[in-house]
Structure 1
């Protein structure tokens, strides 16, 4: 997260940009110390429990009474364009046809529909704006990735709708695809794409400009 913050800072000269995590005790509190008016950009794929409940609660406990919290990364206004460009460019570089099958892999949840809702919205956009045969597969809910991959025929590739490669992208996704006999390429997590820093910077800048206006 600190490395991502450094890349975002390159697009925002003069800004102070810090990266932190909820998982490390005291990290969030240390990051926001002395920044009572900071914009909070949640690097999460969905607007779920962490962004709607846990993060605001932790911010208030850290002394930020009314957090200026933006929508989660997966809901960023630039996400549609990023996904579309990444999928199209990857298919071209891999020599895949314009109508190749694309599996959009995501976390999912047995408890909350937040992850699947934003994933299905992005899949629908890809069907509308590209020629790919787009399906969705999840780690923790139906339709499970392994089942979707097993049913996918012809030239195909898989794009992880995840913020980072940790855990699910580095282990669960490859295992599911291998078990399904899926031989298509597995792309890096969308959150690892180099253009993410610029996407985040643009969103932060637009928010500040609207606030100033």
Structure 2
């Protein structure tokens, strides 16, 4: 039986809600992949990754992260090595999936339609993490923004970050009608606190619409299932 472990960062201060979210996501992915055993785990929950590796020793590792960075390149492999999963195959992260731009276009377009916003007269604001020490989050966001400018049909596509310039509160100011799509995998602290606080400071509402993070979109389980299926067929 094929096996996979979906791994996210989680929330160290309160790991249980994100651990439950990853378990639920694993169940939804498994519903699209008969014959697979799939578990979710976060790095933040004590012994969660270790328990998943012990239960599924032949699993593929799917990083539910938005970018390649220290966690996917260094921390996760180190943790896997330490618990006997050093030989496991690690796939590209969620944020690097080639199907993600199409999902973003669908989510943003549907939100604009539901809000009565004409995309060709509105802005799409991509809210992302950013970093003062690594370019990986910004580079991922810049690449996705470029694709959105080409294909999404919005008048403007702009970026704003929580932890580096252009900061989200500055990017969101004065946009007029807009859709804000947070480029985060889980609804943790940045999504529930930093993003809405930055938009409030920028007076983004009432013309702007804040969406749930892209990792919570309805199409995500199918996207992950497709990535896992491709990994074994190739």
Q: TM-score range by the shorter chain?
A: over 0.9
Superimposed CA distance per residue, residues 136-191 of structure 1 (whole angstroms, 9 cap, x where no aligned partner): 00000000000111142x21121100111111111111111111111111000000
TM-score (norm 1): 0.95
Superimposed CA distance per residue, residues 113-132 of structure 1 (whole angstroms, 9 cap, x where no aligned partner): 00010011111100000221
CA-CA distance at 1:24 after TM superposition = 1.1
Which structure has the highest strand share of the two? 2
CA-CA distance at 1:35 after TM superposition = 2.6
**What residue in structure 2 maps to residue 199 of structure 1?**
223
TM-score (norm 2): 0.87
Secondary structure (helix, strand or coil) at the match of 1:150 reads coil
Q: Is 2:204 aligned against 1:182?
A: yes
CA-CA distance at 1:73 after TM superposition = 0.7
Q: Is 2:171 aligned against 1:148?
A: yes
**What residue in structure 2 maps to residue 163 of structure 1?**
185
Superimposed CA distance per residue, residues 27-83 of structure 1 (whole angstroms, 9 cap, x where no aligned partner): 101001143321000011110000000001111111123220001111112111111
Please say if residues 60 and 67 of structure 1, whose CA atoms lie closer than 8 Å, have aligned partners that are also in contact: no
**What residue in structure 1 maps to residue 140 of structure 2?**
118
Secondary structure (helix, strand or coil) at the match of 1:134 reads strand
Alignment map for 1:69-80 (pairs within 5 Å): 69-80=90-101
Structure 2's unaligned 5+ residue stretches are: 1-21
Bigger Cα displacement from structure 2, 139-148 vs 63-72: 63-72
* Residues paired across the two proteins, number: 209
Residue of 13, 18, 22 corresponding to 2:43: 22
Q: Is 2:153 aligned against 1:131?
A: yes
Structure 1 runs (4+) deviating above 2 angstroms are 34-37
Superimposed CA distance per residue, residues 85-123 of structure 1 (whole angstroms, 9 cap, x where no aligned partner): 111111111111122111100000000000010011111
Secondary structure (helix, strand or coil) at the match of 1:185 reads strand
**What residue in structure 1 maps to residue 71 of structure 2?**
50
